[in-house]
Each structure stands twice: as C-alpha cells, then as structure tokens.
Amino acid sequence: MKLEDIRREYTQGGLQREMLAVDPIVQFEAWLKQAVEAKFSNDPTAMVVATVDETGQPSQRIVLLKHLDENGFVFFTNTGSRKAQELKTNNKISLHFPWHAIERQVIVYGEAKPLPTSAVAKYFLSRPKESQLAAWASQQSRPVSSRQALMQTFNSMKSKFTKGDIPLPDFWGGYCVEPTKIEFWQGGEHRLHDRFMYVKQADGNWTVDRLNP
C-alpha cells in the first residue's frame, strides 16, 4: 500500500468572507446543524480534545460536545482522567471537529473553565442509567487488569444503585471551553482550501482573517 497515492479532491464548495457570520459561535452553530443533517456524517458532535501536561507533552482524545452557548463549548469527564489532571496545571485547550464527510473542519483554541456542580449534576442525571453506572465504575485513564475486572465493577455498581436516582460521583465534572480563536476550514480543489480565523479582541468583538491553505 502506497500511502502517498491515497488522495481525493475536495469539491463540495468554497467559502467566502461574505458567507461568514459576524459571531463565530453563530457560524459554528450553522455548520454543526448542517453536519447533523448530513446523514452520512457520523458523530457530528465528536471533537478531538487536545491538552498538554507539565512536561509539554500534548495528548488527545475524542469527546462529545454536550452544550454550546455564547460562553463556549461544554464537555464532561472524570476529574481523575488524564485530560482533567492536565487542565489543572495548564487550562489551555484545543478542540477539533473533523467533519470529513462534508469537507469541513473547525478548530477551537481557548481556556477550559470548570463548571459549577449544579450544571454537572443536571447533565449527569440526564444520562442513560447505564452511562451513569459506567461513570461510577471507571477510574478513567488508570490501568485496569482486564475487561472482566471492569465489568465486575460495573455490575457491582449496578447492584449498589438498584433503587432511586444514581448520585453524582464526586469525581465527575465538566468544563466550558471559552474560545479565544476559532478557525473554519472548507476543502477546496487542488488543495487550495478556504480557511478563516476568528480572533477575539479585548472588547469582546471578533476579527476575522483569511489564511493561506
């Protein structure tokens, strides 16, 4: 297999400045809606979350976007996880939405701010019961001896919380990523892609520049 021979053209359309909203959150919502409506686009809310540890080593993982408003992009996680521990020492973060099926990408740069317990609890109680139990069962990012051991812990939690609501674990939290820059990428023919970068200014307004592909 020759990796250098794997290629395709991007032909689904260009992106011009006049097509962009003034507010990048509004622009993102429009693109997300189109990604959701594109039935061939799997997991449109999936985003690659990149953090950096105390040595400068980046790490990435895929997480689902769970809320979006004028404040930023929200996701939830175990606070003992690698990403949560890295955010304790460096809250700078990047999110990447790879919408390959519609030849688009969005990259968000910003800072992750912990959510209040009330917001975390509201989301946790909205999850399916099995997902709530999985949160209790998993010591996220830590070694586990086997799949069987993980399932034993899951079944133990299932037996423990047979009645009533499953309580919020004290090791479960969430973050709002407050953006400072957002890039919108539209695939173009001959690798002449359209890229626009929004940058937040001190007064809260956004500037936007076209970038070379």
Annotated binding residues for substrate: 7-10, 66, 123, 127, 131, 191-193
CB atoms under 10 Å from CB of 50, counted, come to: 18
Q: What are phi and psi of 107, to 5 degrees?
A: -120, 130
Rg (CA), the chain: 20
The residues facing 194 across adjacent strands are 186
* Known binding residues for FMN: 61-66, 76-77, 82-83, 105, 140-141, 185, 195
Residues catalogued as catalytic: 191
Instruction: For strands 92-99 and 58-64, give the pairing.
Output: unpaired
* Known binding residues: 7-10, 61-66, 76-77, 82-83, 105, 123, 127, 131, 140-141, 185, 191-193, 195
- 193-197: long-range contacts, CB 8 A cutoff, minimum separation 24: 193/10, 194/14, 194/15, 194/16, 196/15, 196/17, 196/20
Q: Give me the torsion for CA of 116, 140, 90, 206, rounded to 10°.
A: -60
